[in-house]
């Protein structure tokens, strides 16, 4: 083992031992950005799909006293940028994103049926991840959704929550321990419906049942913790619905404008003994309530490994049951997804994995070059770790560089994919007049 690798592993060991409240290093020269602050500015206007009306959008900038700042858009409730200092105080934007509103409208999740777009930084809903064949049964009837990812519905369909303009509710949050804002979207009964012959709906789509009101509160504190709290209320008195929200930020702790493939050199640890293998359409295999063990496979991130170290090991065991060969066509899980794009089943919470707000550790990431680290805590049962496999060099990012495979990765905290069709998975049904609450925290340090 080389000395450099020993040093990295030592640093990772120290990272694992850090407390949930560890603050990032201040900028060189001291002082950082001063006290906690939040600002709001006009970001352009675009047509809101629900109303057809040209509507203004805004960008909120949340800044802490230690050099961490977040740019958040009301369009799509999108996290556009997160600036984090390195161990030497040099700042970098550590999430992939676009520069202009028009870029987001055109490229982030365009209403087309070819994989839906990259979803950079979006608040994804009404149902994050995939629903098999775009259909599920509830309320005594079958509901249908636009097909926008092979044969499945992905991330809410052709017009998901990332395609809408969210509205601020209440005053900006600015107190002694955090700054933030609450953004709201009212999703109507029949959201994502479509007439027969419309894109993704050859036979027509009913959309999702029940009106829901979604409030997402984004906060930043001086410990470098970017908190996202989801509150979903079913406004219907009679209809149940399904919901599964997440944040779709792509992280690259070296900086979003770093060298091609740089994310593959970053270390990831996932707090999961099991993951959910999928069929060839990326729907979790049936009969596996807790997935399969990661042990002995390239999916084992229980100890830190670089993303790229095993991503090409398509001949390695992946612990997919032989009885499911007809669903996988005998293909490796890494071939099916063209890398990592799977649900990890998070381990039960322990005192050692309990973080801020009493949340469970989902994952950690570390960039040895900059010393930047990320910890993800959540109350959700799973996390979709996606290695940016479908970034093909066709998108120009916020700093003017193209994004390719190895440019970034996601930690999408979630209930499991296709849960509305899999009774073995934790339910994503939200009953009439019921409220769902969930919190995920992304903590940055250096």
Active site residues: 248, 412
The residue among 440, 439, 391 whose CA lies nearest residue 97 is 391
Distance separating alpha carbons of residues 114 and 320, to the nearest angstrom: 27
Within 10 angstroms of residue 207's Cβ, the number of other Cβ atoms is: 21
The token pair at 16 is 């694992």
CA 366, distance to chain mean position in Å, is 18
The residue among 344, 357, 325 whose CA lies nearest residue 409 is 344
Q: Are 134 and 153 in contact (CB under 8 A)?
A: yes
CB-count burial class (<10 Å; 0-12, 13-18, 19+) for 104: buried
Task: Kindly report the three-state secondary structure assignment for every residue of 80-129.
Answer: EEEEEECCCCCEEECECCCCCHHHHHHHHCCCCCCCCCCCCCCEECCECC
Strand segments (E) across 23-102 = 37-48, 53-63, 69-73, 78-85, 91-93
């Amino acid at each position: 083992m080389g000395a450099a690798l020993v040093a990295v592993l030592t640093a990772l060991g120290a990272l694992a031992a850090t407390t949930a409240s560890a603050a990032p290093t201040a900028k060189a020269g001291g002082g950082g950005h001063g006290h906690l602050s939040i600002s709001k500015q006009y970001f352009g206007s675009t047509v809101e799909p629900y109303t057809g009306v040209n509507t203004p959008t805004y960008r909120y900038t949340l800044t802490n006293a230690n050099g961490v700042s977040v740019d958040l858009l009301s369009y799509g409730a999108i996290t556009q940028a997160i600036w984090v200092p390195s161990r030497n105080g040099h700042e970098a934007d550590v999430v992939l994103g676009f520069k202009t509103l028009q870029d987001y409208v055109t490229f982030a999740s365009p209403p087309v049926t070819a994989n839906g777009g990259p979803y950079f930084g979006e608040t994804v809903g009404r149902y994050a991840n995939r629903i098999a064949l775009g259909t599920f049964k509830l309320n005594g009837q079958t509901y249908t959704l636009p097909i926008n990812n092979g044969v499945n519905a992905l991330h809410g369909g052709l017009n998901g929550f990332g395609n809408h303009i969210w509205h601020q509710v209440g005053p900006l949050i600015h107190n002694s321990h955090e700054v933030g804002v609450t953004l709201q979207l009212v999703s109507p009964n029949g959201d994502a419906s479509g007439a027969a012959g419309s894109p993704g709906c050859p036979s027509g789509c009913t959309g999702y049942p029940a009106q829901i009101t979604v409030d997402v509160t984004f906060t930043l504190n001086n410990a470098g913790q970017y908190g996202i709290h989801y509150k979903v209320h079913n406004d219907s008195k009679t209809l149940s619905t399904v919901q599964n929200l997440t944040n779709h930020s792509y992280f690259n702790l070296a900086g979003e404008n770093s060298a091609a493939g740089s994310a593959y050199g970053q270390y990831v640890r996932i707090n999961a003994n099991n993951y959910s293998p999928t069929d060839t359409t990326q729907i979790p295999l049936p009969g596996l309530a807790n997935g399969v063990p990661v042990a002995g496979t390239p999916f084992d991130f229980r100890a830190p490994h670089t993303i790229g170290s095993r991503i090409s090991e398509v001949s390695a065991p992946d612990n997919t049951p032989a009885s499911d060969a007809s669903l996988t066509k005998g293909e490796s899980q890494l071939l099916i997804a063209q890398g990592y794009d799977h649900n990890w089943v998070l381990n039960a919470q322990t005192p050692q994995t309990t973080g801020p707000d009493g949340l469970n550790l989902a994952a950690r990431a570390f960039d040895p070059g900059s010393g930047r680290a990320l910890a993800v805590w959540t109350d959700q049962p799973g996390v979709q770790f996606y290695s940016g496999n479908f970034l093909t060099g066709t998108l120009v990012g916020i700093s003017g560089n193209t994004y390719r495979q190895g440019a970034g990765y996601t930690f999408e905290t979630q209930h499991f994919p296709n849960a509305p069709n899999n009774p073995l998975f934790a339910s994503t049904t939200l009953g009439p007049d019921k409220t769902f609450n969930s919190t995920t925290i992304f903590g940055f340090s250096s």
